[in-house]
Chains A and B, each alone.
Chain A
Amino acid sequence: MRNRLLAVSGATTGIAAVLLSAVPALAAGAVEGPVQKQAVNVAAIVMFAIFVLATLAITYWASRRTRSAKDFYSAGGGITGFQNGLAIAGDYMSAASFLGIAGLVYTNGFDGLIYSIGFLVGWPVVLFLIAERLRNLGKYTFADVASYRLQQTPIRTLAACGSLVVVALYLIAQMVGAGKLIQLLFGLDYWIAVVIVGCLMILYVTFGGMLATTWVQIIKAVLLLSGASFMAFMVLAHFGFNPESMFQAATQIHPKGMAIMAPGSFVSDPVDAISLGMALMFGTAGLPHILMRFFTVSDAKEARKSVLYATGFIGYFYILTFVIGFGAITFLMSDASFFTKATGFDKIKDLIGGTNMAAIHLAHAVGGNLFLGFISAVAFATILAVVSGLTLAGASAVSHDLYASVIARGRVNELQEIWVSKMATVVLGIIAIMLGIAFEQQNVAFMVGLAFAIAASANFPIVILSMFWKKLTTRGALIGGFVGLISATVMVILGPTVWEKVLGNAAHSAPFPYDNPAIFSITLAFIVTWLVSVTDGSQTARNEEIAFEAQYIRSQTGLGAEGASSTH
């Protein structure tokens, strides 16, 4: 997950000032600079304010319907497959995928498509192997499934650690990206942007729980898909709906010429490429905030439909992003107003705000100030939807796994558990704000990659083995899971990106040669889990094997599975 993905450029206040002062120049050579500049900001801020008001109204509505733990964690289990599919798409299509992949296509062309495909192919695997079994066995978190027949305390501790580490890394990357993006788009100070995002997500999750989070994600998905569809439509319409003429125009104007139509340097090392593919594919199946979404639907049938719709929306969105990236090449590269220099500009390095702003600039080019404002507001909304889902998953790990099962050993009532969850949300929100501010100047792009690697190496093996392998024991899962978590983390730290670029060690001094550890850490986690399980001769291990039978029947038939308590 090299640097480009979440690095919403090295945006500083300086760049923000450049962007905002340059915006009037974008507006068809208008001379009334200050007025134009005002207009852009107002449009974006008004639209964002409408989004915030609407989502707060939904939160109020949701809070009146959120009474039990089941309401809070899983929206009462009454979300339909279609709604959940949209919400999953809203949870998964982050600002990083939208701006980052469009920026990647703008810079490298075809390589951006390789990335998108990696993010998509995990979904069929989630459906074929995980979704329905997860729905049949679990209640609120994936730890319910992993600890179904194993010992509660160690397994929930492991799952909560895996969840919290993934959530924290993902959250930091999103907060830093949010701060920089909002700084660029709205001209707000970095810390103000981070505080606004943090406070809104605390409000959504604390008061509205899963129901509000789901609807924030659904609205965001609809807005993002509509906005991206409009942009792709305008680009294709410009070329008479003939992709060949679009690609012709792009290759003529892009400094890399025909090279943008084929795989480039982006994926050079085969081991790194396969390893990245494994992290993306299996990491998707181990992301706690994604797995949690399967408990919001009523049964396995709806869980399956969710994945079908989500795969459709996400796949469609990535195709749009590819068109948008090429549209940005053809619309922006010939127009000096999008660059920091009037003449002799570098078509990639001198793009105002960096290449991650390519989609935002294109919004202005195809739809004027109003549409620029709309897309800016959508980008902000996108971040809010993603961080809300993450925070809810983190808070559930704290309240449902750590507090209710590990600390209180199941002796809690629902109200206490919900209260702990809400407090955990507030604390997580405050920590996220502080980390977001602390990491402002850090290169956080590796964190999403690390989050996927850990999800694939710690959470995924435990989830899949607990469902499919009856000889899995508590000891095996515990040791294997932690080996996956620790090995993925250590290998990322010792790898070239973090060791050399983040920690500032000399070039080529990284002890571990690859940026993507997944191929090694996933294998290691599976081998250790297997080895420890088969050599575990304890009585508990035997009991756990016997208990597999009942778990298996329930996972296959859904008999005894949690039902819906209400419909929304």
Chain B
Amino acid sequence: MQQEITKKIRSNPKFAELIRKRTAFGWQLTLVILAIYYAFILVIAFAPSILATPIFPGAATTVGIPIGILVILAAFILTGLYVRRANGEFDELNRQIIEETKE
């Protein structure tokens, strides 16, 4: 029974589509957040003076402040993008797969 379900899902092209799309999307976003974070850390480690530049001449605020806050916002926005697509498009596809398996 269990094996039959497994086989049925495996042979459903929608399952292949779901896996392809969702896995790719998940890893792409992972790479984006890793790139953003490690770029930030590497700038701090090797070129901290970039972040020390004032946002306008004579300002106390440096570009490091908005950049740091943008990294925080990016983490939130990326999670939002994933949740939106996964809970909408991907879950709909998943629902169809499960329904077709029950037939």
In the bound complex, do residue A127 and residue B5 qualify as a contact, i.e. CB atoms below 8 Å apart?
no
**Contact of A262 with B by CB under 8 A:** yes
* Residue in A128, A273, A311 whose beta carbon sits within 8 Å of that of B26 in the complex: A128
A116 to B61, CA, bound (A): 19
A4 → B minimal CB distance (Å): 17
A258 to B3, CA, bound (A): 66
Interface string of B16-57 (1 = CB under 8 A from A): 001100100011011001101110111011101101100000
**Contact of A47 with B by CB under 8 A:** no
A81 → B minimal CB distance (Å): 9
**Chain A neighbourhood of B76, CB < 8 A:** 308, 311-312, 315
Question: Are A117 and B48 also in contact (CB < 8 A) when A128-B82, A244-B59, A248-B60 are?
Answer: no
Question: Are A127 and B71 also in contact (CB < 8 A) when A261-B52, A263-B64 are?
Answer: no
Closest to B80 in A: A308
A250 to B59, CA, bound (A): 12
B15 → A minimal CB distance (Å): 8
Closest to B78 in A: A124
Closest to A280 in B: B37
Per the 8 Å Cβ criterion, residues 63-103 of B in contact with A are 64-65, 68-69, 71-73, 75-76, 78-80, 82-83, 86-87, 91, 94, 97-98, 101
Question: Are A262 and B10 also in contact (CB < 8 A) when A110-B65, A315-B75 are?
Answer: no
Closest to B44 in A: A263
**Contact of A251 with B by CB under 8 A:** yes
**Chain A neighbourhood of B61, CB < 8 A:** 243-244, 247, 261
In the bound complex, do residue A267 and residue B80 qualify as a contact, i.e. CB atoms below 8 Å apart?
no
Per the 8 Å Cβ criterion, residues 114-158 of A in contact with B are 114, 116-118, 120-121, 123-125, 127-129, 132
Main SS at interface, chain A: helix
Main SS at interface, chain B: helix
**Total residues of chain B contacting the partner, CB 8 A:** 54
**Contact of A364 with B by CB under 8 A:** no
A356 → B minimal CB distance (Å): 21
In the bound complex, do residue A117 and residue B40 qualify as a contact, i.e. CB atoms below 8 Å apart?
yes
**Contact of A318 with B by CB under 8 A:** yes
* Residue in A110, A261, A267, A559 whose beta carbon sits within 8 Å of that of B45 in the complex: A267
A550 to B19, CA, bound (A): 14
**Total residues of chain A contacting the partner, CB 8 A:** 51
In the bound complex, do residue A550 and residue B64 qualify as a contact, i.e. CB atoms below 8 Å apart?
no
A559 to B101, CA, bound (A): 10
A270 to B44, CA, bound (A): 8
Closest to A112 in B: B68
**Chain B neighbourhood of A123, CB < 8 A:** 75, 79
**Chain B neighbourhood of A38, CB < 8 A:** none
**Contact of A304 with B by CB under 8 A:** yes
Total CB contacts across the A-B interface at under 8 A: 150
Question: Are A258 and B94 also in contact (CB < 8 A) when A273-B44, A277-B37, A559-B9 are?
Answer: no
**Contact of A281 with B by CB under 8 A:** yes
In the bound complex, do residue A319 and residue B82 qualify as a contact, i.e. CB atoms below 8 Å apart?
no
In the bound complex, do residue B87 and residue A305 qualify as a contact, i.e. CB atoms below 8 Å apart?
yes
* Residue in B29, B68, B83, B98 whose beta carbon sits within 8 Å of that of A117 in the complex: B68
In the bound complex, do residue A553 and residue B87 qualify as a contact, i.e. CB atoms below 8 Å apart?
no
B64 → A minimal CB distance (Å): 6
A244 to B60, CA, bound (A): 6
**Contact of A166 with B by CB under 8 A:** no
Closest to B54 in A: A261
In the bound complex, do residue A304 and residue B98 qualify as a contact, i.e. CB atoms below 8 Å apart?
no
**Chain A neighbourhood of B87, CB < 8 A:** 301, 304-305
* Residue in B18, B59, B60, B62 whose beta carbon sits within 8 Å of that of A556 in the complex: B18
In the bound complex, do residue B10 and residue A553 qualify as a contact, i.e. CB atoms below 8 Å apart?
yes
**Chain A neighbourhood of B15, CB < 8 A:** 556-557
**Chain B neighbourhood of A307, CB < 8 A:** 79, 83
In the bound complex, do residue A304 and residue B82 qualify as a contact, i.e. CB atoms below 8 Å apart?
yes
B85 → A minimal CB distance (Å): 10
A550 to B8, CA, bound (A): 12
B91 → A minimal CB distance (Å): 6
Per the 8 Å Cβ criterion, residues 294-336 of A in contact with B are 300-301, 304-305, 307-308, 311-312, 315, 318-319, 322
A127 to B21, CA, bound (A): 16
Question: Are A125 and B33 also in contact (CB < 8 A) when A311-B75, A315-B73 are?
Answer: yes
Question: Are A127 and B44 also in contact (CB < 8 A) when A117-B68, A315-B73, A319-B69 are?
Answer: no
- Ranked nearest first, the 9 interchain pairs of A and B with the lowest CB-CB distance are A262-B52, A270-B45, A247-B60, A263-B48, A128-B26, A113-B68, A261-B62, A248-B60, A263-B44
17 contacts between A and B (CB under 8 A): A114-B44, A121-B37, A124-B29, A124-B33, A124-B78, A128-B29, A129-B30, A244-B59, A247-B59, A247-B65, A261-B60, A263-B64, A267-B45, A274-B41, A281-B37, A305-B87, A315-B75
B residues at A contact (CB < 8 Å): 2-3, 5-6, 9-10, 15, 18-19, 22, 26-27, 29-30, 33-34, 36-38, 40-42, 44-46, 48-49, 51-52, 59-62, 64-65, 68-69, 71-73, 75-76, 78-80, 82-83, 86-87, 91, 94, 97-98, 101
A residues at B contact (CB < 8 Å): 110, 113-114, 116-118, 120-121, 123-125, 127-129, 132, 243-244, 247-248, 250-251, 258, 261-263, 267, 269-270, 273-274, 277, 281, 300-301, 304-305, 307-308, 311-312, 315, 318-319, 322, 549-550, 553, 556-559
